[in-house]
Amino acid sequence: MDSLTGQPRPVSRRWRLTGWLLAAVWLFFLNVPFSTALQQPQSWRRIVGVVTLVAFGLGYVLLFQWARNLRQHLLPIPVHRARLALLLLLGLGLASIPGTAGDWTATLVFVAASAVFLLPAVQALVIVALCALTPLVAAWLVPAWTGESTVTFAVLLASFAMFGVSRLAQRNSELQAAQQEIGRLAVAEERARAARDLHDILGHSLTVVAIKAELAGRLIEVDRDRAAVEIAEVEALARAALADVRETVGAYREVTLVGELAGARSALVAAGIAAELPAEVPTLPQEWDQLFGWAVREGVTNVVRHSGARCCTIRVHQDLVEVSDDGRGPSAPDPSGHGLVGLRERALRLDATVTVGRGPDGSGFLLRVHAPGEAR
């Protein structure tokens, strides 16, 4: 199945031809009744025998291909249609009696095998039993039909073989379905990851761009030089955001704690928020450095957007990072924001804990990412 369109992949021409051959090769076992029909002294009997056997063989091959195609596309086989098809096969076999005499029972081998492939286990078992008993009962009722006990053995053997084939086909279908589901989930997860990354990048960058553009608009009449500086920074931020998007698409982007602290200082100053940042940061493993960088980015973005704060404090230790402010804080802290979801998922990969809520004194807002004990 194509992972993009959700449609089954087309079956190759060679594989379709192989399927036809697998179905047709078994028609060799109709040679006995076919030979009997050709040796009939009366022409009408020859015609009836040959025509019905040809129709029987064609019907069997088409039925097999129909069921095989449904299995390949992971579709259920309609039981009522399968029963009707088996009745038609049996009817063609019975119609061949004028030309094949007792050898018509060879068609029961195909009916039994088809039932195993098409029907649920209990129904198939009943049909196999009836097909196995029919030659014995027919030979007892019509003494001229001798040697039909071999057909009973053939019915049982073919049914057992088809049972193995059908179970193998079912397992292959289940494996194919599982592989397709894994592929679909992988695509969905990758799309969600890309969406989170783009949100985290553009949400932060565009917030800072908007604030700096607003500041430049206010300064343009009173301090053109300062406004020009702010506009230059807006241009630089826009170019950096574009580069981040390109790197995200290419899966090359790296977030670092030092880089995010520098960006946080610029964003907070542009928003008129006093920034208390650490003068130094501890040396961290790469994965923790990236996680703490994401935490700083998400926390500062929320402070600039929503807090109305006058001061933002960022603390970094070996085992945790905190972003807090003295703003109004949320009336009901919502941990399900899109950015926080992405941060939580990144933290979960390292068994870290993400805490959001009001500050220790009950005011403002606090975002904390805490490493587990063994990672400290």
The pLDDT assigned to 315 comes to 93
Domain boundary among 149, 184, 219: 184
Residue 22 confidence (pLDDT) above 80: no
Mean pLDDT, rounded, of the chain: 78
Query: Residue 360: what are its φ and ψ, rounded to 5°?
Result: -60, -30
Domain hosting 106: range is 13-184
Domain count, the chain: 2
Most confident of the ranges 165-174, 179-188, 278-287: 278-287
Q: Is residue 95 included in any domain, yes or no?
A: yes
Higher pLDDT, 217 or 183: 217
Q: Does 146 or 19 have the greater pLDDT score?
A: 146
Reference 167, options 133, 124, 128, 109; nearest CA is 124
For the segment 147-178, what is each residue's pLDDT rounded down to a tens digit? 566 778 888 887 787 777 667 766 766 666 66
Number of other CB atoms surrounding residue 96 within 10 Å: 28
Specify the pLDDT at position 237. 75
Whether 164 and 279 map to the same domain: the answer is no
Q: Same domain, yes or no, for 32 and 131?
A: yes
In the listed set 165, 184, 203, which residue is the last one of a domain according to the structure?
184
Per-residue pLDDT, 253: 53
User: Based on the domain organization, do 163 and 48 belong to the same domain?
Assistant: yes
**pLDDT given for residue 36 in this prediction:** 84
Q: Tell me, what's the pLDDT at 376?
A: 44
* Burial grade of 278 (CB within 10 A; 0-12, 13-18, 19 or more): middle
For residue 300, the domain's CATH number is 3.30.565.10
**Distance from C-alpha of 309 to C-alpha of 304, rounded to nearest angstrom:** 8
158 versus 131: the higher-pLDDT residue is 131
Is residue 205 situated within a structural domain?
A: no
How many C-beta neighbours within 10 Å does residue 42 have?
10
Local confidence band at 321 (pLDDT 50, 70, 90 cut-offs): very high
Within-domain flag for 246: no
| 249 lies in some domain | no
pTM recorded for the entire structure: 0.46
Instruction: Please write down the long-range contacts of 288-292, taking CB distance under 8 Å and 24 or more positions apart.
Output: 288/350, 288/371, 288/375, 289/256, 289/257, 290/254, 290/255, 290/256, 290/257, 290/346, 291/346, 291/347, 291/350, 291/352, 291/369, 292/257, 292/316, 292/321, 292/369
Q: Is residue 244 part of a domain?
A: no
Final residue in a domain of this structure, among 154, 184, 214: 184
Rg of the Cα atoms in the chain: 38
Residue 243 forms part of a structural domain: no
277 and 180 within one domain: no
Residue 169 lies inside a defined structural domain of this protein: yes
Decide if pLDDT at 197 tops 70: no
Counting runs of H as helices and runs of E as strands, what totals does the chain give?
A: 12, 5
* Residue 114 resides in a domain: yes
Cβ-proximal residues to 301 (8 Å cutoff; 6+ apart), any chain: 203, 204, 207, 267, 339
Render pLDDT for 230-247 as a digit per residue (tens, 0 to 9).
788 877 777 777 766 666
